[in-house]
A and B are shown apart, each in its own frame.
Chain A
Amino acid sequence: MKKDNNSDKITRKEAISKMGKYAALTAVGTFVILNPLKAQSSSPPDPGGGLFPPVD
């Protein structure tokens, strides 16, 4: 069954129209996107360290 929550819509519409210019322009620059590792890992070695350091 399609549920149309009009009260929510009005609330959001009111809220977005009241959001000032500065708040809106600032808000769009505040997100972070975080990607987990794709495979399990232990702590990587410090740069230049580790068991198999890069050959200079």
Chain B
Amino acid sequence: MITSLAPTYKKVFGDYWVLWYAISNSYSVINSDFKLLLDTYLASETTTVFSSTISNELSDSDKAQISDTLLNYLECCNIPYTSATTNLAKLDTSLRNISKQYIFDTKNVQIHYSSELVLKTIHPSIAHYCNSSTHKADVTFDIYLQNDDLYLFKDKHLISCVPKSDYHLIQGKFIMQLLCVLHNKVEQDWIGTLHGSTITDGNSSMLFVGKSGKGKSTLCALLAANGFDLLADDVSPLLSKNQHIYYNPSAISLKEGAFNLLQPIVTNFETLPIVEFNTTKGRLKYMPCRIPRKQHYPCHSIILVNYQPDSETKLETVSIKHILETLIEDSWLSPNPKHANQFLNWLNGVTLYQLTYSSTASVVTEISTLFKQAPQTL
């Protein structure tokens, strides 16, 4: 059979297998019965041999259907990966209409924006680092809008250019570049940027994942108001060298629906400015948090967050399928085979939970208990 279509890596997680295909950088979650069929199919020299191996209870048309489905599955897993391309535009310095300076620990970062609207893509999440210093910048970014495209330059080199409606991609690229500057890394050092928020107790960390609106950031704001530290909001970077999650300096981005819940809990919440994204939708507040003691922590749990009004707080284990269906397609993961292998091994070492909550007090207690169960890393 076409063994070149076989997965590059396979890892078992309880009742499921997770397969990774190098050519497409895709992850597949299958059960043990599917795995058995797939292994048999790949080990059979021809479809006739495969058909003769599987159950005699199956009719010839059933066998043909299974063969076709497996081949179709393998072809879907082997569509070649193409990385996002970028053009070769030159920096236009005439668009430096607003300039801001930010100081992150020892790094002085300057950003030039073309307008107030473009400034809103980046500035509110890092405004707490803004400083009127006139020291020479270590790194300079330019972000501007030209012909309905948004451009991001770092030290005059084009990093990304996307249609303005995809400004979340400029935000993602900017964060990646900023993380590289702050942690002295290059993009190739990271396994990925996981779509989720990470909290630390100063010993280890937990990654909270969930679809938009499920309460990840709200929960992190609650936990940050109760003595925990925010390691990363929305974009949690995982480093190859030690498989730790690193500090992302962005403030917690909170949607209007969370304002009433957080108002009585977060000190001076009412004084945080509201960022209007447009007149009908998207009023946000950005909540800066205390900087964690260390720049990176090992992660021992991934928690799928599900805020449900009036529900009991419930923490239960959940399958890898459930977690990956939420996590993978909203995360950037390096296509490098070494990184994919590390990612699978990392996943194998973390405990997976689903958290349903509405009560703020009981959820803080539940997470505190879980942190106490983590191995001591110091």
Contacts and interface: CB of A to CB of B under 8 A. Distances in A.
Interface string A24-56: 111111111111111111111110111111100
Interface stretch (B171-179, B238-246, B304-312, B349-357): B171-179
A32 B19 CA distance: 10
Given A25-B66, A29-B69, A36-B331, A52 B235 contact: no
A10 interface: no
A24 B58 contact: yes
A48 B331 CA distance: 22
B84 A48 contact: no
A37 B168 CA distance: 12
B332 A33 contact: no
Nearest to A9: B43
Interface residues of B, number: 68
A21 interface: yes
A7 interface: no
B376 interface: no
B10 to A, nearest CB: 13
B73 A31 contact: yes
A40 B55 contact: no
A49 B36 CA distance: 46
A53 B325 CA distance: 28
A23 interface: yes
Given A36-B192, A45-B168, A51 B57 contact: no
Given A33-B28, A35-B25, A41 B36 contact: no
Nearest to B330: A37
A36 B328 contact: yes
Interface in B291-337: 321, 324-325, 328-333
B278 A50 contact: yes
B84 A35 contact: no
A31 B34 contact: yes
Nearest to B281: A49
A16 B175 contact: no
- Interface of A: prevailing SS: loop
B40 A33 contact: no
B331 A20 contact: no
Nearest to B331: A36
Given A12-B39, A34-B29, A28 B34 contact: yes
Interface in B3-40: 24-31, 33-34, 36-37, 39-40
Contact of B165 (A23, A36, A50): A50
Nearest to A27: B33
Nearest to B162: A39
A1 interface: no
A3 interface: no
A24 B169 contact: no
B58 to A, nearest CB: 5
Contact of A19 (B43, B55, B73): B55
A40 B66 contact: no
Contacts of B168: 41-45, 50
B328 A28 contact: no
Given A16-B53, A28-B66, A50-B165, 4 more contacts: A28-B70, A39-B169, A41-B172, A42-B172
15 contacts: A16-B37, A16-B54, A21-B57, A33-B28, A35-B25, A36-B328, A36-B329, A39-B172, A39-B173, A39-B332, A40-B173, A42-B172, A43-B168, A43-B212, A49-B282
